[in-house]
Chain A
Amino acid sequence: MIEVTGLVKNYGTKRAVDGISFKVNRGEILGFLGPNGAGKSTTMKMLTGFIRADAGTASVGGIDVTVDPVAVKRQLGYLPESAPAYPEMTVEEFLSFIAEVRGFRTATAKRERVEHVLGLTHLNSVRSQSIETLSKGYKQRVGFAQALIHNPPALILDEPTDGLDPNQKNEVRALIKNMAAEKAVILSTHILEEVDAICTRVIIIARGRIVADETPAALRARQPGARLDEIFRTLTA
C-alpha cells in the first residue's frame, strides 16, 4: 500500500533524511520511532506530498506522490504533528469543511460522514464548540477525526497520542487497532510502550537513517531481558 524508496531530504547542509526505504501493507501498523530531530516528521511530510524529496520516491496505492500528488492525498488520512485546525471554527464546521474538500458534496453525505467520525472519536459533546476553546486531548481527537473522515486506505499519524491522558491514549490506540485490519497505518511516536501495545512492526531511525526494521518481538530479542528504552538508547546512540 505504502512504498518508500531511498528518500533523501536536505535542509541546507544538514541531511535530515538519508536514504530511507520501507513498505507497509494493508493490515500493518508501522511504528516510526526515533529521537527528536531524527527525521520522522520529515519522512512523513514527504510521503504526504507536503514537502518535496531531494531524491527517492514515495508511493501510495501504486501512485507516485511526485507524479500525481492530488491522487495520493485522496487516499491518505494524515494527522500532522500537534493536530493543527482552524481555531475559530466549531468542531462540526471544521469537519464539514474537510468532508466537503474530501468530495462529500451533498448535505446528507457530508452529515453522514461528520456524524460517523464524531461518534468514532467521541466528540459529540463538544461538536458545537469552537476549536480554540478545546483542551489538547480534544484537539488531538479533532485532528484524528479529520484524518478518518473519508475512510482512507492509508493512515499517517504524526504522534497521535501526544498530549492525551492515559485513558484517552488507550482509547486512541484501541481505535487505531480496530481500523488497522483493512488499512495501512504509519504512526510516529517516542512512547515505547505504544509500540508494544499496537504496532505490528517497528522502524527506528536515527540521524536520518533506518537502524532497525522488525517486529516488536524481534526488537526485544536483540537484548533479552533489557527494557525497550535501553534497546532504543543503544540503537540510537
Chain B
Amino acid sequence: MSQIRPLFKREFLGYFRSPVAYVFLISFLVISVSLAFSRYGNFFKNGTASLESYFIFFPWLFMFIVPAVGMRLWSEEKRAGTIELLFTLPITTLEAVLGKFLAGWAFLTLAILLSFPMALTVGFLGQPDWGVMAATYLGAILMAGAYLGICALTSALTKNQVISFVLSLAACAVFVFLGLSSFTTTLESILPVSVADMVSNFSFVTHFDAFTKGIIDPKDVIFFLSLMGFTLVLNVVALER
C-alpha cells in the first residue's frame, strides 16, 4: 500500500500542472456562491445565520462538477497510452485505483473547503451554529467521494472523456432524482411503500439532508462510505477484465 503515496502525489499535483484545477476551482466557487445569493438561495432574505442556502444546491452542483473531475481519471490514461506504463510499474490495480481516487477526492475536498469565506461571512453577520456547519462540510465531503466513486468507475469503462462525462452525469443524476418528492410519490403509486422507501433511500439528497441539519447519523456516513467502497471494487474489476 506504500505505492499509493507517489500515485496520489502525481495525480493530485497533476490537476495543478494544467489550467484544469484553476478553471475548476474558480467556476465551482463562482457558481455555488451565486446560487446561494440568487433568488432561489435567498442567502440574505432568509435572515438565518447558516449556510443552508449555500449547501442546498450541492447535490445538484456535484452532479455536473464531479464528473468534470472524475472523467479524466482513467479515460485520459487509456487515451494517452500511459495506462500501459502505469500497469507495468510494480503496483497493484487496487493501489492505482486508490491513489487516483484519493487524489481526486482530496481535490474536491479542497474545492469545498475553499468556500470558507462564506462561513466567515455568516460568522461575521450573526451567530451561526458552528457544529451544524462542520457537520454540513463533512457531509459535503463524503457526498463528493461517493459521486467521485461513480465517476471513476465510468471513466474506467471508456477511453473517450466525453462518453465518460455523459455516463457519469447520467449515473449521478439517478442517485439525485431517487430522492425527489415528486419521484417518490410516483414510485409509491406503483410500488409498495416499503419498496419505494428503499429505493429513495439510495438518494444522495436524502442522506445529505441530515448533515445540513447538523445530524451525523452513522447510517448516512456508512451509506456514502459503502458506495465509495462498492464503486472502487467495481473499478478494480473493470480495469482488470
Q: Which residues of A contact B (CB under 8 A)?
A: 45, 48-50, 70-71, 73-74, 76, 78, 80, 82, 84-89, 97-98, 100-103, 130, 146
**Bound-complex Cα distance A76 to B91 (A):** 13
With contacts A70-B91, A70-B92, A88-B17 taken as known, whether A101 is within 8 angstroms of B3 at the C-beta atoms is: yes
Q: Which of B3, B82, B87, B90 has the most CB of A within 10 A?
A: B90
Contact check, A85 vs B82: say whether CB atoms are below 8 A apart: yes
Q: Is the interface of B mostly helix, strand, loop or mixed?
A: helix
**Bound-complex Cα distance A85 to B91 (A):** 17
Contact check, A50 vs B87: say whether CB atoms are below 8 A apart: yes
Contact check, B7 vs A76: say whether CB atoms are below 8 A apart: no
**Bound-complex Cα distance A117 to B80 (A):** 24
With contacts A80-B81, A101-B3 taken as known, whether A86 is within 8 angstroms of B10 at the C-beta atoms is: yes
B74 vs chain A, min Cβ distance (A)? 14
B91 vs chain A, min Cβ distance (A)? 6
With contacts A45-B84, A86-B10 taken as known, whether A102 is within 8 angstroms of B90 at the C-beta atoms is: yes
**Bound-complex Cα distance A146 to B90 (A):** 13
**Bound-complex Cα distance A86 to B10 (A):** 10
Q: Which residue of chain A is the closest to B85 with respect to CB atoms?
A: A84
- Residues facing A in B1-31 (CB within 8 A) are 3, 5-7, 9-10, 14, 17-18
Contact check, B88 vs A88: say whether CB atoms are below 8 A apart: no
Contact check, B82 vs A84: say whether CB atoms are below 8 A apart: yes
**Bound-complex Cα distance A231 to B125 (A):** 86
Q: Which of A48, A74, A84 has the most CB of B within 10 A?
A: A84
Contact check, A88 vs B14: say whether CB atoms are below 8 A apart: yes
Question: Any chain A CB within 8 A of the CB of B198?
Answer: no
With contacts A85-B82, A86-B82, A146-B85 taken as known, whether A74 is within 8 angstroms of B90 at the C-beta atoms is: yes
B1 vs chain A, min Cβ distance (A)? 12
Contact check, B88 vs A48: say whether CB atoms are below 8 A apart: yes
Contact check, B88 vs A84: say whether CB atoms are below 8 A apart: no
B83 vs chain A, min Cβ distance (A)? 8
Contact check, A101 vs B80: say whether CB atoms are below 8 A apart: no
A136 vs chain B, min Cβ distance (A)? 14
Q: Which one, A50, A73, A84, A88, contacts B90 given CB within 8 A? A: A73
Question: Any chain A CB within 8 A of the CB of B89?
Answer: yes
Chain A contacts for B85, CB-based, 8 A: 78, 80, 84-85, 146
**Bound-complex Cα distance A196 to B17 (A):** 43
12 pairs of residues in contact across A and B, judged by CB atoms under 8 Å = A50-B84, A71-B90, A73-B89, A73-B90, A86-B10, A86-B14, A88-B18, A89-B10, A89-B14, A97-B6, A101-B7, A101-B90
